[in-house]
Structure 1
Amino acid sequence: MSKQKETKTNAMREIEAAGVPFESHLFPCEKALSGVEVAKLLQQDPDQTFKTLVTVAKSGEHYVFMVPVAEELDLKKAAAAVGEKAVSMLKSKELLPLTGYVHGGCSPVGMKKLFTTTIDETAQLFDTIMFSGGRIGCQVELAPSDLEKVIPLHYADITVS
């Protein structure tokens, strides 16, 4: 049991602190894999597996978006969803200092600061969804309604049609 405690991430600790049930999926991984590769490795539906994307708006505000791993974030829809004129993807080198997470291991839970988070509306179609548990080689699975208990979250159509 102590080994399990050693593997816990900030994201897992925050989910546990919120009293939300979740399942962790750990897998050996030397480098960041694409979300589709992770879903395939864990034998999960790519539509049910979400990637966490961090953006910056023209206003300077940062926003987090979660989309299915095989989909692409529509930047215009994303901006509209958060009431901004435009958003762009955060530069990879800015991710760690801003969030505390590395590319390929970025979770919407447990970031250094809480950002407005929008998840694609398709998440509501599933009993559970998977997303990064806060490091490369770690995914967490929980109900979308339970994720709402951990971080403020809203749903919108934010993928490229």
Structure 2
Amino acid sequence: MKSKKPLKTNATRILDGLGIEYEILEYEVDEHDLSAENVASKLGLSPSRTVKTIVLKGDRSGVFVCCLGGHREIDMKKLPEITGDGNIETVPSESLLTLTGYVRGGVSPLGMKKSFKILVDKGVLNEERISVSAGKRGLQIWLRPTDLVCATNASVVSFSKEKHQTL
């Protein structure tokens, strides 16, 4: 679904300023399911092509951001080796707006209020194009993963694992 009129967010303005090509994808928001898998389903994409943005806080490194495919989860055994933290926790959703300028389900790694270290999972680079939040629920940015890395000055590392399936 391509947008009829150009929609602008902080994230798209950054991409425009860098001359990075992208498309805006719109989907109907389900307030009860903000998962990357649900967004992927609504857009007709594979969850591996729908990148989720998770904000975390380490006891040594402070706040940082992880971007990974919607079909994966953070491996909390690998992450401390990468960040040097002894303890890492997910930032509570009620703190996201104050910290990043974005709400849960609409957190983009682009255009946050403050500049945080961004980690992009290596597996994201296996995709030709990915969708990532445009900074607003119901809007995704469709772009090359290398452009996301460039625009966010991210470090590409391996920190995810397959999601555990619950029965």
* TM value normalised by structure 1: 0.90
Residue 17 of structure 1 corresponds to 17
What is the 5 A alignment of 1:123-138?
123-138=124-139
Residue 99 of structure 1 corresponds to 100
Query: In the alignment, residue 76 of structure 1 is paired with which amino acid?
Result: K
Residue 80 of structure 1 corresponds to 81
Distance 2:35 2:148 in 1: 22
For the aligned residue pairs, the C-alpha RMSD in angstroms reads 1.7
Aligned sequence identity (%): 32
Distance 1:155 1:4, change over 3 A: same
Query: In the alignment, residue 119 of structure 1 is paired with which amino acid?
Result: V
Aligned length: 158
Residue 28 of structure 1 corresponds to 28
Please tell me whether the aligned partners of residues 18 and 149 of structure 1 are also in contact (alpha carbons under 8 angstroms). Answer: no
Distance 2:133 2:24 in 1: 10
* TM value normalised by structure 2: 0.87
Report how far residue 70 of structure 1 moved: 2.2
CA displacement 1:17-37 (0-9 Å, x = unmatched):
111001110123252521101
Distance 1:60 1:94, change over 3 A: farther
Please tell me whether the aligned partners of residues 149 and 156 of structure 2 are also in contact (alpha carbons under 8 angstroms). Answer: no
Distance 2:72 2:107 in 1: 17
Structure 1 runs of 4+ with >3 Å offset: none
**Quick check: which one's strand share is greater?**
2
Greater alpha carbon shift after TM alignment, 96-105 vs 138-147? 138-147
Please tell me whether the aligned partners of residues 61 and 85 of structure 2 are also in contact (alpha carbons under 8 angstroms). Answer: no
Query: In the alignment, residue 17 of structure 2 is paired with which amino acid?
Result: A
Distance 1:109 1:54, change over 3 A: same
Consecutive unaligned residues in structure 1, runs of 5 or more: none
Residue 156 of structure 1 corresponds to 157
Please tell me whether the aligned partners of residues 24 and 140 of structure 2 are also in contact (alpha carbons under 8 angstroms). Answer: yes
Consecutive unaligned residues in structure 2, runs of 5 or more: 163-167
Residue 90 of structure 1 corresponds to 91
Distance 1:98 1:37 in 2: 25
Report how far residue 4 of structure 1 moved: 3.1
Residue 109 of structure 1 corresponds to 110
Residue 64 of structure 1 corresponds to 65
